[in-house]
Chains A and B, each alone.
Chain A
Amino acid sequence: MRKCSLDSLNAIFTRINQFAKLYLPVNGNDGKAAYTEWQEGLEWSNALNTTKSPKDFFFPQTEDLMAFRTSGKNIEIIDTRKESEDFVVFGVRACDVKSFEVLDNVFLKEPYDSYYANRREHGIIISVACTRPADTCFCKTFGIDPAKPQGDISVWKTANELYWQSNTDRGAALLDKIADLTEECGTEAVEEQQQQINKIMAKLPLANLTTDGWGAGKTQELFDHPKWAELSEACLGCGTCTFVCPTCQCYDIKDFNSGKGVIRFRCWDSCMYSDFTKMSAGQPRLTQKERFRQRFMHKLVYYPENNNGMFSCVGCGRCLAKCPISMNIAKVMKTIGGKDND
């Protein structure tokens, strides 16, 4: 383990930025944190987490897939893919780091997605432990430890210092490049912080939320549960939960005619929208109840069934904070999971 003083952070960021683009949470004019490309003078946000998840780095909200030129009856396909630049994402929380694993299971499974894979190969993740978890946090429910965040490098921030530990070869190589700005140290301060984090976690409102009653093989039991109607009744179908969610990965593919040619792009989509499954032959999910159910059944039953029991939720709490009707996955888990976790 290595450490540096917080005062030297600027020098470290400058160094990293010499060999890779660096992104970190910075407070915007609205006072809310968002991943921002680092430049001299920017300050690392104190916020617990960013409004939008960092899934954008690997699975952008919109991205071009290819282009076409047409003339008369002929079409030319243009491969617009480019090798990604190397980049470093600093300050990722443990929940969001885990979300990349959830996305990997979708995009890196055969046939693998070269757009996602390309960015994933070029991105280095520096995570940071959560010293002030919020009331909306429930990462522990999914076996995530906010005191031991993963990623290529893990970082712990104390009052005056930053502690660094590499978890991968890529992480170690990066730490070598800033070795002259850090020094070898013991693990006592980090261990003390980890204990404090665990104490806070135990007192959080959702500390006892469990996945009991959910998981692979529960489709028959849960699909027709009488509570779906009640839980989904006020759902506006706005899709905010899916857009702030670090693990939602449904997408649409559309064409844009620029006048000079056609760009085929993909963009995030939401199973909460009525036209998501609508086709000329009909609409398999007729009301918001079916769409609402799909989102939670996918995260808590279908995805685990296809991924050795791993859930497609990391307990980041963004949907709890953002839902306009205050409905969320924690309420769904408690109500339908059979056991009231309160």
Chain B
Amino acid sequence: MTNIQEALIPKIGVITDIRIDTPDIKTFRVVTPDGVKPFDHRPGQCAMLSMPGIGEAMFSITSSPTNTEYMEFSIKKCGCVTDWLHQAEVGQQITVRGPYGNPFPVDDAFAGKNLLFVAGGVGLAPLRSVINYCRHYRERYGTIDIVYGSRSKDDLLDYQEIIQEWANDEGVNVHLTIDREQEGWDGHVGFVPNFVKELGFSTDKTAILCGPPIMIKFTLDGLYSLGFEKTQIYTTLEMRMKCGIGKCGRCNVGSKYICKDGPVFRFDELDELPDEY
């Protein structure tokens, strides 16, 4: 029976690059010891990373599936496993298993649509995978709007990639904002939900949100006031997870397991779940 594959047993990953994104977010590049991508995934799916003796935790895969060489994880320092990862060095091995959860419907519901991404803080990490996938298959989608905000300019994740690559793509409009005035910043200042309302998007778009709960709440209100329906807004949820395969019980909300039936939900689907996430 030891030959039977066991979902809980991970494989080895090697950290080959660490990028310091913000004062508390680093992006880790991971391959197998053979130098290949640990496994294939779809945009929005997650993976379990661990350091034996420290712990295991679920992270969204921030690199796009169209990147065939490696996987990337943008990780904020905010707990045991993440604290440890932030002190790790290039060459460090970790364990990795996945992919877990459902992806964003990039090839069906999103196809041919104008897309509006709205992210706050480290909430850009799961959406970067989707954004880069859609940029890669640019002809499959309409316009792409990206509204992204953080506390300060220094807290904007993937800033170089955003201004050097995303902002220069045809049909891709990037709208950045920071919470407070800052020297050297001549862009928009203010919270993401207000910025979305100010920008006043037309309802011919499919919206994808990820960020702190308070941002989600007020952005939703804004989108509804602009005339958006729940059926055209998606998000990805975060819950504590241990197994990643819908058995350990931690991420159970209603009859769903966020690790397996989520993390991606459309807002009309979320209406059917008890408000406990």
B247 touches A106 (CB 8 A): yes
B53 touches A257 (CB 8 A): yes
A70 touches B12 (CB 8 A): no
- Give the chain A neighbours of B91 by CB distance below 8 A: 73
Q: Which of B47-95 contact A (CB under 8 A)?
A: 50, 52-56, 78-79, 82, 89, 91-95
Residue B249 at the chain A interface, CB threshold 8 Å? yes
> How long is the Cα–Cα vector from A253 to B238 in the complex, in angstroms?
18
Check A280/B53 contact, CB under 8 A, given A75-B12, A77-B10, A251-B249.
no
Residue B174 at the chain A interface, CB threshold 8 Å? no
B247 touches A113 (CB 8 A): yes
Q: Which of A256-281 contact B (CB under 8 A)?
A: 257, 262, 264, 266, 269, 271, 276-281
Residue B93 contacts which of A74, A118, A301 (CB distance < 8 angstroms)? A74
Interface residues of B, dominant DSSP? loop
- Give the chain B neighbours of A79 by CB distance below 8 A: 2, 6, 9
- 9-residue interface stretch from A31-39, A45-53, A167-175, A282-290: A282-290
> How long is the Cα–Cα vector from A88 to B208 in the complex, in angstroms?
54
Check A250/B213 contact, CB under 8 A, given A68-B52, A290-B276.
no
- Give the chain A neighbours of B273 by CB distance below 8 A: 219
Instruction: Report which residue of B11, B78, B239, B254 has the largest number of chain A beta carbons within 10 angstroms of its beta carbon.
Output: B254
A251 touches B2 (CB 8 A): no
> How long is the Cα–Cα vector from A284 to B276 in the complex, in angstroms?
5
> How long is the Cα–Cα vector from A254 to B252 in the complex, in angstroms?
19
Residue B164 at the chain A interface, CB threshold 8 Å? no
- Give the chain A neighbours of B2 by CB distance below 8 A: 79, 81-83
- Give the chain B neighbours of A331 by CB distance below 8 A: none
A250 touches B249 (CB 8 A): yes
> How long is the Cα–Cα vector from A301 to B2 in the complex, in angstroms?
36
> How long is the Cα–Cα vector from A70 to B93 in the complex, in angstroms?
9
- Give the chain B neighbours of A306 by CB distance below 8 A: 255
Check A294/B79 contact, CB under 8 A, given A68-B53, A262-B53.
no
> How long is the Cα–Cα vector from A278 to B79 in the complex, in angstroms?
11
Residue A278 contacts which of B238, B240, B245 (CB distance < 8 angstroms)? B240
Q: Contact flags (1/0) for A49-79 with B, using CB distance below 8 Å?
A: 0000000000000000110101001110101
Q: Which residue of B lies closest to A281 (CB)?
A: B238
Q: Which of A164-188 contact B (CB under 8 A)?
A: none
A-B contacts counted at CB < 8 A amount to 128
Residue A249 at the chain B interface, CB threshold 8 Å? yes
Check A75/B255 contact, CB under 8 A, given A83-B2, A219-B274.
no
Residue A21 at the chain B interface, CB threshold 8 Å? no
> How long is the Cα–Cα vector from A266 to B239 in the complex, in angstroms?
19
B239 touches A252 (CB 8 A): no
A77 touches B252 (CB 8 A): no
> How long is the Cα–Cα vector from A223 to B54 in the complex, in angstroms?
36
Residue A114 at the chain B interface, CB threshold 8 Å? yes
Residue A161 at the chain B interface, CB threshold 8 Å? no
Tally of chain A residues near chain B (CB < 8 A): 55
A77 touches B53 (CB 8 A): no
Residue A107 at the chain B interface, CB threshold 8 Å? yes
Task: With both chains docked as a complex, state the minimum distance between the C-beta of A300 and any C-beta of chain B, in angstroms.
Answer: 12
Residue A111 at the chain B interface, CB threshold 8 Å? yes
B243 touches A255 (CB 8 A): no
Residue A107 contacts which of B4, B247, B276 (CB distance < 8 angstroms)? B247
Q: Which of B239-264 contact A (CB under 8 A)?
A: 239-240, 242-243, 245, 247-255
B248 touches A284 (CB 8 A): no
Task: With both chains docked as a complex, state the minimum distance between the C-beta of B58 and any C-beta of chain A, in angstroms.
Answer: 10
Check A277/B240 contact, CB under 8 A, given A73-B91, A255-B54.
yes
B55 touches A255 (CB 8 A): yes
Q: Contact flags (1/0) for A205-216 with B, using CB distance below 8 Å?
A: 000000000001
Residue B226 at the chain A interface, CB threshold 8 Å? no
Check A271/B249 contact, CB under 8 A, given A77-B11, A77-B12, A114-B4.
yes
Residue B94 contacts which of A66, A75, A82, A262 (CB distance < 8 angstroms)? A75
B248 touches A269 (CB 8 A): yes
- Give the chain A neighbours of B10 by CB distance below 8 A: 77
Q: Which residue of B lies closest to A251 (CB)?
A: B248
Task: With both chains docked as a complex, state the minimum distance between the C-beta of A308 and any C-beta of chain B, in angstroms.
Answer: 12
- Contact sample, A vs B, 10 pairs, CB 8 Å cutoff: A250-B250, A253-B56, A255-B50, A264-B52, A271-B252, A279-B79, A279-B238, A281-B78, A281-B238, A302-B254
Interface residues of B (CB under 8 A from A): 1-2, 4-12, 50, 52-56, 78-79, 82, 89, 91-95, 213, 238-240, 242-243, 245, 247-255, 272-274, 276-277
